């Protein structure tokens, strides 16, 4: 194990980001009606009439859905990034993979669902006019649409990179294209360039003042490392699985460097999902290192 003192001073001595501030408005819990459903490749885009939830939402935040009604045997909420708001409506992109997300993706117009939100910390916005690069992996791109709009309103030149394994797993490319120049990449070359988002990020990161990313953990790590190496601050929205979404279950923690330079197990829901890309200790996810605050009480002693 690396000596904690070295780890601290070398890797995290001069961070480029500040922790994302909390949202101003509190979440609400509402039963809302599905007013739109549209299959998008491998995903399903759902739109809800949810004026109170949508009206409070800021880019980067998410909502948490109850699955299957009050008698459901699936108790845990499914947390999904907000893909759009407007006219009192809330849009999300659901990727069906397990029984819960499959149930959600199967909701038809007229159905109702219990939703809590908006939750989590929004993307911090840069100085007006700062050129920005947005990087979305798979359905993670959906979380960047609102951000692209907010950045454009503040005078930023916005470029985006959207990548996925294959064409049917791309998401929100049309919405992003209306707001930004978009580079599309797929692993199999079925859409756009063949390759990984990091190929395009490496080419473009030197031309921007801030990078934002949402997608799988491996992609976030690679994008954050490229940005940090280029001296560009990055903010990543993580897709950690959560049981509650509101900060009470303590299951969605990641090792994250705080404002004081110390690493804590931080909740992805209430202290994230947006973290400074250079603050998430990606290499240590799923482990407990001795320099995490409170590790000594777990029997993990400094090396």
Partner 1 sequence: MGTALAFAPIPGPVLTASGCSAFGQELEPFVDLDALGAVVTKSVQLQPRSGRPTPRMAETPSGMLNSIGLQGPGIDGLLADELPWLAQRGARALVSIAGTRVEHFAELATRLRGVPGVLGLEVNISCPNVESRGEVFACDPVAAADVVAAVREAADPAHPVFAKLSPDVTDIVSIARSVTAAGADGLSMINTLLGLVIDPDTMRPVLGGVTGGLSGPAIRPVALRCVWQVHQALPEVPVLGMGGIRTGLDALQFVLAGASAVSVGTAVFNDPSAPARVHAELADALAARGFASLRDAVGYAHR
User: Where on the chain is the footprint of partner 1 (CB under 8 A)?
Assistant: 26-29, 66, 70, 72-77, 100, 114, 116, 240-241, 243-244, 246-254, 264-265, 270, 285-288, 292-298, 300
Q: How far is the CB of 283 from partner 1 (least distance, A)?
A: 13
Q: Toward partner 1, which CB reaches closer, 125 or 269?
A: 269
On whether the CB atoms of residues 220 and 277 are closer than 8 A, the answer is yes
Q: How far is the CB of 99 from partner 1 (least distance, A)?
A: 9
CA angle (157 as vertex; 135, 142 as ends), nearest 5: 35
Q: How far is the CB of 287 from partner 1 (least distance, A)?
A: 5
On whether the CB atoms of residues 239 and 221 are closer than 8 A, the answer is no
List of residues 6+ apart from 236 with CB closer than 8 A: 212, 213, 214, 220, 223, 224, 274, 275, 276, 277, 280
Q: How far is the CB of 138 from partner 1 (least distance, A)?
A: 19
Q: How far is the CB of 294 from partner 1 (least distance, A)?
A: 4
**Quick count: other Cβ atoms within 10 Å of Cβ 110?**
9
List of residues 6+ apart from 202 with CB closer than 8 A: 226
Distance CA 22, CA 275 (A): 11
Distance CA 249, CA 241 (A): 11
Residue 118, both tokens = 């908006």
On whether the CB atoms of residues 281 and 255 are closer than 8 A, the answer is yes
Q: How far is the CB of 268 from partner 1 (least distance, A)?
A: 10
Q: Toward partner 1, which CB reaches closer, 99 or 231?
A: 99
220 closest CA partner among 282, 166, 139, 167: 282
162 closest CA partner among 174, 154, 150: 174
Number of residues assigned to the chain: 303
Q: Toward partner 1, which CB reaches closer, 34 or 300?
A: 300
On whether the CB atoms of residues 93 and 44 are closer than 8 A, the answer is yes
Q: How far is the CB of 289 from partner 1 (least distance, A)?
A: 9
Query: In which residue are the tokens 């038809």 written?
Result: 108
């Amino acid at each position: 194990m690396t000596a904690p003192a070295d780890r601290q001073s070398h890797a995290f001595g001069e961070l480029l980001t500040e922790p994302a501030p909390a949202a101003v408005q509190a979440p609400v819990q509402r039963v809302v009606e599905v007013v739109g459903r549209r299959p998008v490749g491998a995903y399903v885009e759902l739109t809800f009439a949810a004026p109170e939830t949508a009206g409070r939402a800021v880019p980067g935040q998410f909502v948490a859905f109850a699955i299957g009604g009050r008698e459901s045997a699936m108790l845990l909420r499914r947390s999904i990034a907000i893909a759009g708001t407007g006219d009192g409506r809330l849009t999300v992109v659901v990727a069906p993979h397990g029984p819960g997300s499959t149930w959600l993706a199967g909701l038809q117009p007229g159905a109702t669902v219990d939703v809590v939100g908006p939750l989590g910390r929004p993307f911090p916005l840069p100085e007006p006019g700062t050129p920005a690069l947005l990087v979305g992996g798979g359905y993670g791109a959906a979380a960047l649409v609102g951000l692209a709009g907010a950045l454009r309103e503040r005078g930023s030149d916005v470029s985006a990179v959207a990548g996925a394994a294959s064409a049917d797993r791309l998401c929100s490319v049309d919405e992003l294209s209306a707001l930004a120049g978009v580079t599309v990449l797929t692993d199999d070359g079925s859409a756009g360039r063949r390759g990984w988002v990091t190929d395009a990020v490496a080419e473009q990161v030197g031309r921007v003042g801030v990078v934002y990313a949402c997608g799988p953990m491996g992609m976030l790590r690679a994008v954050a490392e490229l940005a940090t190496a280029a001296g560009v601050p990055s903010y990543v929205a993580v897709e950690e699985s959560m049981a509650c979404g509101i900060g009470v279950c303590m299951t969605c923690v990641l090792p994250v460097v705080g404002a004081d330079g110390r690493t804590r197990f931080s909740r992805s829901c209430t202290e994230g999902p947006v973290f400074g890309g250079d603050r998430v200790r990606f290499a240590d996810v799923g482990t407990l290192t001795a320099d995490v605050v409170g590790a000594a009480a777990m029997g993990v002693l400094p090396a």
